[in-house]
Homo-oligomer: A and B are copies of this chain.
């Protein structure tokens, strides 16, 4: 009997939480405050969507579950680091994240800066340390592509574009360009990392790439809708923040109804991309639904 999505996603979240707890240095190890901050911001929270994507994509290529916990953890470490730095006073200056005080509020700015830095290093460490697939050459390529997704032409670049865009009215293509980098790159990297842990084929990789691009954008569109619609309590982060800070959002660019419609179209596009793969793509399809239909 296969698990329903809720049970499966709980299982994935549990596995990743256990792996992260094992991979992150214990809080008692020197420098204790830094390790505490790294654990504080990485453990015990978040929807673990990126980890789910690693596992779901790994199912398509028949990757061993035992292997997937490493790339899933690495992706969540990078995500956690990006949130810590994004919340800093010189960036978004936010005090609430995942329903808790942000890292620099709970600790201090310098510790938060270093915790983010160290989490990025740790992500690459574990990706190189553990066997992810049967070919070391392929594993090097996986690390390289993952690094591109994190860097100036990926996530960090997207944050820079975001900075430059604050207070400006972006066109839809400009907004898309920003989010393809800021959110989309890591989501795409999560899918490709997980897929590459198994028996990967070029044809299927292209399908997954198309899927990943659709859900990467969908994720951001839905985030903007929820940021506009939701309350701080249900979001676990400050609601309405983006529009208050003068940041362009899909809601501000195309309005609420069209943003909702766009999310729905992207969900359909994600499902279409998976066509022909069959039941191995079931979890990916479910994650696409989860991303678009989530209410929190």
Contact = CB atoms under 8 A, between A and B. Distances in A.
Interface of A is mostly: helix
B91 A152 contact: no
B121 A144 contact: no
Interface in A8-50: 25, 29-31, 33-35, 38
Contact of A151 (B121, B150, B161): B121
Interface stretch (A58-66, A106-114, A254-262, A273-281): A106-114
Contacts of A88: 90, 113
B120 A34 contact: no
Given A34-B156, A111-B160, A113-B113, A151 B137 contact: no
Interface stretch (A122-130, A207-215, A263-271): A122-130
A140 interface: yes
B34 A160 contact: yes
Contacts of A128: 128, 140-141, 143-144, 147
Q: Chain A contact residues (Cβ within 8 angstroms of B): what range? A: 35 or more
A157 interface: yes
A167 to B, nearest CB: 14
A113 B148 CA distance: 18
Interface string A128-169: 110000011101110110011011111011011101100000
15 contacts: A33-B160, A34-B160, A35-B152, A81-B117, A85-B113, A110-B163, A111-B163, A114-B163, A121-B151, A125-B147, A125-B148, A128-B141, A128-B147, A135-B136, A136-B139
